[in-house]
Structure 1
Amino acid sequence: MFQFRTILKKCHNLKGVAQLSSYQRQFKEISIPVPWGHIAGKWWEPYDVRPILTLHGWQDNCGTFDRLVPMLDKNVGFLAVDHPGHGFSSRLPSGVYYHFSNYMITINFIRHFMNWDHISFLGHSLGGILSYTYSMLYPDRVDFAICLDGAKPMIRPNSIKYMAKALDLFHKYSEFADSPHEPPSYTLDEIKKKVSMPNKNSVDLEYTHFLMERNVAPSKTHPGKYYFTRDPRLKLGELLSYSQDELVQSAHDMTSPICIIKAKGGSYYEIKENFYEVLDVLKRTSRDCDFQYVEGTHHVHLNHPERVAGIIDSFIARHNVADRTTGGMVEKMVVQA
């Protein structure tokens, strides 16, 4: 698990990598058992209280929060996990599609393992959508949700055609996932550009190593090159299946506090009116719907965490009122380096 971290420390073209993500706040690598393997992640101190479950975006990993979490309230723990097939977490079994519901199931496995009665969320992109959707499904179970440039599930145009195409491609990507051969490999500079490029060059090149650490491994067949370790099946997307009418209606039942931070340089990934229609309902139904714009790209929380940290801390200060004395770290979760 930590081999690539050692390699990165020796790479002169990765600025500041020797500091990694623990230079301001301690964390422990953790592993939570699930039926198909384990969910990996980082638990940022304190360890003896129920943390805020922290969820990353599609094809990212929990390293995306390495610059943000150290800036946040030190009295609240943050459990940042890698989704199935991402980072250091186990892939779903062979032949299984990464459907959106599998992420909801994963959250429930974590909740049951930790014996949590309630959950607090901090999520980015897909992680924000998961946080929102869980709050929609279980409004009485969520203390609050903080969504960074991703909240309501998106309505995909031509969703039926997209689903048919994704299902047709599933066999191809399943073969890639099950292949004994290495995926394509690249130089570190090429890897950095591939991490930076999506979502309109969303990740600044100097911060790409925070995502690479848990997402890339050195090639055994091409010395000096690296390949992506995430599951190839993730490329097919999650097959969301909600209608706009359902989302608008469900928003009427979402009373728990929600904070939505929208990056001005990000995208909506759907007709933006869909988002604002739901937001208008949330402003009337939620006990506190805090919606704010910030300058930056889709990964503003990684590039410029100071732009969102104050908003997040203020929201947490208002709503961190639930009892967190139970649900702290279980010693058997800790991964020994």
Structure 2
Amino acid sequence: MLLQLIRKYSSGKLWQEVAIPVPWGEIRGKWWGPTDIRPVLTLHGWQDNCGSFDRLIPLLPDNMSFLTIDLPGHGYSSRLPSGLHYNLSSYLVTLKYLTNYMKWKQVSLMGHSMGGLLCYTYTMMYPKSVDFLACIDGLILFNYLDLMAKAIEDFPKNNQFSFDKVESPSYFIEEIKQKIHKPHGGSIDLTNTEFIMHRNVALSQTNPGKYYFTRDPRLKSVDLYTFSQEEYIRHSPNISCPVFLSKFTQRMFAKEIFQELKRVLQKSEAHIVEGTHHGHLNNPERHAVLLKGFFDRFELDKNRSKEVREEIFV
């Protein structure tokens, strides 16, 4: 059934499964478009996977490539070793492993939510290494002290669950869809939950007809403690590449930081888009037209370097 879902809901622009080695295993993902040019490295949000871009990427220019990856512990990518915590630093290190392995002198970045935060932070840290950045409803900056305390408190339990031999709780497909739909106030339309589901569940071996979530239980102990809003604003003028920012109307992202970043960035455009936090999945055409305009404005679809490693395709 999962294979059927992949074929059914990822039709359109062709993609190939990829596997990139990292010290703890591999990072999996989908390469969309031509395989002889450097792709846009594309990162999903917390507890999602690269399937969240399955409806958006086919609407983007055919002469561009996109590498949508599953972050560690998500989708088909390997989990971090036992005892380690998923946090901003571990994801940034993953990006550095990927860019080093691919031997990219520069990288193009696009991300949604947590993925947008990672992309923005990476660009802020390595401004000369990024040739453009697109953040879709990312940069949700809060005081993370309370969240960190809860994450640390829950981590030992979730770490044990991560490496237990006992299968996780299993559910019928309609229950799985509800569990993907309900977070973020029903952000993902029920009809679109299957785009996340097919890299997120496996058939139960103990309960016939049911499925269980395969993502790492440690992801429940969210720890994305990051720079303060003031630090992001102070360091953002160092970013010289073109930057695309978007904010969905039904989301908590503070409008003040959104407008301030737009002011201090050298080359940027910012858009407020109607929709929920997963609007790029529910209504991808709204973002596609904006992104294509961004690519055209800065001629980002031209002169893409030919830096590809054929051995990553599986």
Provide the TM-score with structure 2 as the length reference.
0.95
Cα offsets for 1:94-129 (capped at 9, x unmatched): 100001111111111110111111111111111111
Structure 1 residue 299: Cα displacement = 0.8
| Residue 234 (structure 2) pairs with residue 249 (structure 1) | yes
1:48 match: 36
* Correspondences of 1:21-40 after superposition (within 5 Å): 21=10, 23-40=11-28
2:2 match: 5
2:9 match: 20
2:187 match: 202
Structure 1 residue 161: Cα displacement = 3.8
State the number of aligned residues.
313
**Structure 1 residues without counterparts, runs of 5 or longer:** 10-16
| Residue 88 (structure 2) pairs with residue 100 (structure 1) | yes
Cα offsets for 1:269-315 (capped at 9, x unmatched): xxx26523xx424424322x111111111111111111110100111
Cα offsets for 1:168-192 (capped at 9, x unmatched): 2110000100110011111111100
* Correspondences of 1:204-219 after superposition (within 5 Å): 204-219=189-204
* Correspondences of 1:65-80 after superposition (within 5 Å): 65-80=53-68
Structure 1 residues 254 and 18, CA gap change in structure 2 (3 angstroms): closer
| Residue 171 (structure 2) pairs with residue 186 (structure 1) | yes
User: C-alpha separation between the residues in 1 aligned to 2:217 and 2:187?
Assistant: 21
Structure 1 residue 238: Cα displacement = 2.5
Provide the TM-score with structure 1 as the length reference.
0.89
Contact 1:56 1:62 in 2 (8 A): yes
Task: Report the AA paired with residue 262 of structure 1.
Answer: K
1:13 match: none
2:304 match: 324
Q: Which moved more, 1:63-72 or 1:240-249?
A: 240-249
User: C-alpha separation between the residues in 2 aligned to 1:281 and 1:206?
Assistant: 34
1:232 match: 217
1:134 match: 122
Q: Alignment identity in percent?
A: 44
2:142 match: 155
Task: Report the AA paired with residue 226 of structure 1.
Answer: Y
Contact 1:252 1:282 in 2 (8 A): no
Task: Report the AA paired with residue 283 of structure 1.
Answer: R
Task: Report the AA paired with residue 113 of structure 1.
Answer: Y
1:300 match: 279
Task: Report the AA paired with residue 298 of structure 1.
Answer: H
State the SS of the aligned residue for 1:262. strand
1:14 match: none
User: C-alpha separation between the residues in 2 aligned to 1:165 and 1:195?
Assistant: 22
User: C-alpha separation between the residues in 2 aligned to 1:140 and 1:322?
Assistant: 19
User: C-alpha separation between the residues in 1 aligned to 2:40 and 2:238?
Assistant: 22
**Structure 2 residues without counterparts, runs of 5 or longer:** none
1:12 match: none
